[in-house]
Amino acid sequence: MKISQLGEFGLIDVLKKFSPVTKEVIKGIGDDAAVLPFSKTEYLLFTTDMLAQDVHFTLGMSAQAIGHKALACSISDIAAMGGRPTFAVISIGIPKDLPVRFITELYQGIKLTAKTFDVSIVGGDTIKADKLVINIALLGQVEKKYLTLRDGAKPGDWIFVTGPLGGSFKSGRHLNFTPRVAQARFLVENFTPNAMMDLSDGLAGDLGHILKESRAGARLDYAAIPRNKGASLEQALNDGEDFELLCTLSPKTARSLMEWQEKRKAFYFYPIGVITKDVKEKINSKSFTHF
Ligand code: ADP
Ligand code: MG
């Protein structure tokens, strides 16, 4: 069988069988970041993301924006766990003819984003490659009481997203997005979400991960899904790389969040549907109905 027939998630399921874990591992493969022991009150978070030339970017794009994105993807995963990013290592594979300037600009992008989010760059690896590849591994920390996984959604929970979706590639937003650390920290500190993840593969598929992990279904109000200018519902459901947060809150906390945000406009969390008991209402976006 070819990799293309298996698909990304089919392959990850296979790889999981070859990925041993000790009893210490609190959450391994299957969430936005791994959750590991750290201290009495906090967990260590660990995530990694890779970008490749001609798959995720081309050399015609802004090197600084590519650097930003390479780090911001991982910061977004740490945010999705309710945590704060801390330390990163960066590995790059560089074609021998690439101008040095491209790499310094790439690193300028990484540096600005690292400073904005208090991330220290503490190492990496450099090799020769046919095309430019960049991989960032990032650690983070989260208070045990604030850890938010994908598997905690409960029937009746309201589903929220942190911003408009769709058309991220066409608009270039996939390179310039802001990881939602502030929104995630605000939520975990004040409203205790039951489940959370970041939207990297598109709402329909990503919500499917929460539903699968939580053994639940969902009904979406398509009209309530916030869309970027020019994006269709189809695009808002299926385009990837929005890097907004997707989270679920109990009806009670959801209502107090709605009350809070009527008065204060610091962030806006858009209610887009509810979690249901019926697992048949899951994964395929076509099976979601209005609530
Ligand atoms: P995200 O989009 O949040 O970065 P992914 O969809 O890339 O997450 O990955 C889903 C899960 O699979 C994560 O827990 C990730 O760590 C794991 N994973 C992805 N690729 C591999 C791999 N090659 N080996 C082991 N685990 C992997
Ligand atoms: Mg993620």
- Rounded to an integer, what distance in angstroms lies between the CA atom of residue 52 and that of residue 129? 11
Q: Is the pLDDT at 113 greater than 80, yes or no? A: yes
Quote the tokens at residue 49: 């993301």
Question: Phi and psi dihedrals of 138, rounded to 5?
Answer: -130, 135
User: Can you say whether the dihedral through the CA atoms of 10, 15, 20, 24 is positive or negative?
Assistant: negative
Per-residue pLDDT, 266: 83
Q: Kindly state the helix (H) or strand (E) to which residue 77 belongs, with its residue range.
A: helix 63-80
- Rounded to an integer, what distance in angstroms lies between the CA atom of residue 54 and that of residue 59? 8
- Rounded to an integer, what distance in angstroms lies between the CA atom of residue 17 and that of residue 116? 38
- Rounded to an integer, what distance in angstroms lies between the CA atom of residue 54 and that of residue 121? 26
- DSSP class of residue 86 equals E
Q: Is the pLDDT at 93 greater than 80, yes or no? A: yes
Q: How many residues does the chain have?
A: 291
Quote the tokens at residue 199: 């939207």
Mean pLDDT, all residues of the chain: 94
Q: Is the pLDDT at 173 greater than 60, yes or no? A: yes
Per-residue pLDDT, 283: 45
| Contact between 167 and 228 (Cβ < 8 Å) | yes
Per-residue pLDDT, 282: 53
- Rounded to an integer, what distance in angstroms lies between the CA atom of residue 166 and that of residue 96? 36
Sorting pLDDT into bands at 50, 70 and 90, what band is 87? very high
- What would the mean pLDDT of 164-187 be, rounded to a whole number? 95
From atom 11 of ligand 1, which residue's Cα is the shortest distance away? 30
- What would the mean pLDDT of 88-116 be, rounded to a whole number? 98
- Mutating to test ligand 1, I would choose from 8, 9, 12 the residue with most ligand atoms within 8 A of its C-beta, which is 12
Quote the tokens at residue 73: 């993807």
- What would the mean pLDDT of 141-165 be, rounded to a whole number? 98
Q: Is the pLDDT at 288 greater than 60, yes or no? A: no
- DSSP class of residue 227 equals B
Per-residue pLDDT, 281: 59
- What would the mean pLDDT of 31-56 be, rounded to a whole number? 98
From atom 2 of ligand 1, which residue's Cα is the shortest distance away? 200
Strand partners, 246: 161, 197
- Mutating to test ligand 1, I would choose from 13, 27, 29 the residue with most ligand atoms within 8 A of its C-beta, which is 29
CA 220, chain centre distance (Å) = 20
Name the one residue in this structure whose structure tokens are 């074609």: 95
Using alpha carbons, select from 274, 255, 83, 116 the residue that is nearest to residue 184.
83
Per-residue pLDDT, 287: 43
202: region left, alpha or beta (phi > 0 left; psi from -120 to 50 alpha): left
| Contact between 175 and 236 (Cβ < 8 Å) | no
Sorting pLDDT into bands at 50, 70 and 90, what band is 285? very low
Question: Could you tell me the pTM of the whole model?
Answer: 0.95
* Lowest-confidence segment of 50-64, 145-159, 210-224, 273-287 by average pLDDT: 273-287
Strand partners, 274: 158, 219
Percent of the chain with pLDDT over 90: 90
- Rounded to an integer, what distance in angstroms lies between the CA atom of residue 169 and that of residue 107? 22
User: Can you say whether the dihedral through the CA atoms of 232, 235, 65, 243 is positive or negative?
Assistant: positive
Q: Is the CB of 77 under 6 A from ligand 1?
A: yes
Sorting pLDDT into bands at 50, 70 and 90, what band is 290? very low
CA of 213 to the centre of ligand 1 (A): 14
